[in-house]
């Protein structure tokens, strides 16, 4: 195998692991955290977008006014988690599965 | 019975032209056959050492069989078209069909594909924070330099991967199998306690 291909595969390996972001402060900005490991970072008044489980937050601060926007595939797990929580189903329908008239539930993402 | 049902059309094509690694196997087989005939010649002429070429031939036949067993699946897939995987995000990955032989390679490639689609560049930060979590005054420039450096690394990796995938080449499945895809993280997030 030539060195070029080995280098390429090393790059693939590098891309497959989480990229560490150390000690950064984000203020009033939109940020997607997929693929990163945030370590000792701070988020003030931000909108954090997350679409996969491929992220880590280590010793990070999130202000109260920072909102988190969950992707449709990720929210399915939350809906399943809340599938029998009547309080969540009633008060926070966005985090709950669709409750059908016959008592069954539906959790639908973008995979069809 | 309808006569048309009896009109079957049987067509078979036999090709004995060795390809790639099969050339080596063919050579071993020829040497093995020659060695076997030598042992027969020794037997015919009552030579006492006839078993030496005979055993050598058996070993060579065994080696040829093992080589064939190991390489046959890949030889069968040699002329197949590249397999194209599409992600939800629209990212398209074209890979060698021989990778389909390995579940681990496919799992890693799937994770890689999702990573390619989901990962976005870091936005410009407002500053740095120190080890106590306090904002460092006047650190905006340094923070932007750090973020740019990370984005550059990321961009370079994506570019190299795209070039690697665009080129027609043989990929060593062992290397793809060893791509770290944060399996621990995936499995940890995948297991949730029941309510």
Q: pLDDT tens, A12-57?
A: 555 567 889 999 999 999 999 998 999 999 999 999 999 888 899 9
Contact (Cβ atoms closer than 8 angstroms) between residue B59 and residue B9: no
Q: What is the pLDDT of residues A64-101, one digit of tens each?
A: 999 999 888 888 888 999 999 989 888 988 889 998 88
CA distance A67 to chain B (A): 16
| Per-residue pLDDT at B79 | 60
- Mean pLDDT of the region B46-65: 89
B138 touches A: beta carbon within 8 Å: no
B133–A17 CB contact, under 8 Å: no
Tokens matching residue B96: 């060698």
B166 touches A: beta carbon within 8 Å: no
**Chain B, nearest residue to A109 by Cα:** B88
B129 touches A: beta carbon within 8 Å: yes
B154–A19 CB contact, under 8 Å: yes
The CB density around residue A16, as the number of other CB atoms within 10 Å, is 22
- Mean pLDDT of the region B146-171: 74
Contact (Cβ atoms closer than 8 angstroms) between residue B16 and residue B29: no
A67 φ/ψ angles, rounded to the nearest 5 degrees = -100, 150
**Chain A, nearest residue to B160 by Cα:** A8
Choose the mutation target among A49, A54, A57, A111 for the interface with B, i.e. most B CBs under 10 Å. Answer: A54
Which of the four pLDDT bands, split at 50, 70 and 90, describes residue B46?
Answer: confident
Nearest Cα to B146, choosing from A40, A59, A54? A40
ipTM of the complex model: 0.77
What residues contact residue B144 under an 8 Å CB cut-off, 6+ apart?
A: B124, B125
Rounded Cα distance, A73 and B139, in Å: 37
**Chain B environment of A81 (Cβ under 8 Å):** 192, 195
> A48 pairs with which residues across the strands?
A31, A68
B35 touches A: beta carbon within 8 Å: no
Q: Is 50 exceeded by the pLDDT of residue B98?
A: yes
User: Which stretch of DSSP H or E encloses residue A48?
Assistant: strand A47-50
A29–B181 CB contact, under 8 Å: no
**Chain B environment of A47 (Cβ under 8 Å):** none
Q: Is 80 exceeded by the pLDDT of residue A106?
A: yes
What residues contact residue A99 under an 8 Å CB cut-off, 6+ apart?
A: A89, A105
A19–B116 CB contact, under 8 Å: no
A9–B163 CB contact, under 8 Å: no
**Chain A, nearest residue to B174 by Cα:** A9
Rounded Cα distance, A40 and A107, in Å: 35
| Per-residue pLDDT at B15 | 54
Rounded Cα distance, A71 and A108, in Å: 12
A53–B147 CB contact, under 8 Å: no
B52 touches A: beta carbon within 8 Å: no
A56–B133 CB contact, under 8 Å: no
From the list B112, B123, B170, the residue facing A29 with the nearest CB is B123
From the list B115, B126, B139, the residue facing A27 with the nearest CB is B126
A23–B130 CB contact, under 8 Å: yes
């Amino acid at each position: 195998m030539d060195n070029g291909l080995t280098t390429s595969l090393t790059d693939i390996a590098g891309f497959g692991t989480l990229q560490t972001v150390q000690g950064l402060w984000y203020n009033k900005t939109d940020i997607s955290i997929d693929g990163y490991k945030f370590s000792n970072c701070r988020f003030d008044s931000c909108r954090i977008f997350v679409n996969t489980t491929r992220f880590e937050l280590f010793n990070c601060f999130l202000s109260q006014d920072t909102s988190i926007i969950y992707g449709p595939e990720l929210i399915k797990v939350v809906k399943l988690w809340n599938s029998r929580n009547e309080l969540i189903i009633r008060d926070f329908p966005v985090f709950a599965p669709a409750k059908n008239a016959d008592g069954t539930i539906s959790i639908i993402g973008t995979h069809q | 019975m309808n006569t048309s049902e009896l009109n079957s059309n049987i067509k078979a094509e036999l090709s004995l032209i060795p390809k790639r690694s099969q050339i080596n196997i063919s050579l071993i087989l020829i040497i093995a056959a020659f060695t076997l005939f030598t042992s027969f010649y020794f037997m015919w002429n009552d030579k006492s050492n006839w078993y030496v070429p005979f055993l050598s031939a058996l070993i060579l036949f065994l080696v040829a069989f093992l080589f064939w067993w190991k390489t046959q699946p890949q030889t069968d897939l040699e002329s197949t078209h590249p397999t194209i995987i599409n992600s939800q995000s629209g990212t398209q990955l074209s890979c060698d069909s021989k990778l389909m032989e390995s579940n681990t390679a496919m799992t890693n490639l799937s994770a890689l594909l999702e990573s390619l689609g989901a990962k976005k560049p870091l936005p410009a930060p407002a500053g740095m924070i120190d080890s106590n979590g306090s904002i460092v005054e006047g650190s905006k420039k340094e923070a932007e330099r750090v973020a740019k450096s990370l984005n550059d690394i990321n961009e370079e990796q994506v570019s190299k991967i795209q070039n690697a995938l665009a080129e027609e080449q043989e990929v060593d499945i062992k290397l793809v199998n060893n791509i770290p895809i944060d399996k621990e993280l995936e499995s940890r997030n995948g297991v949730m306690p029941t309510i």
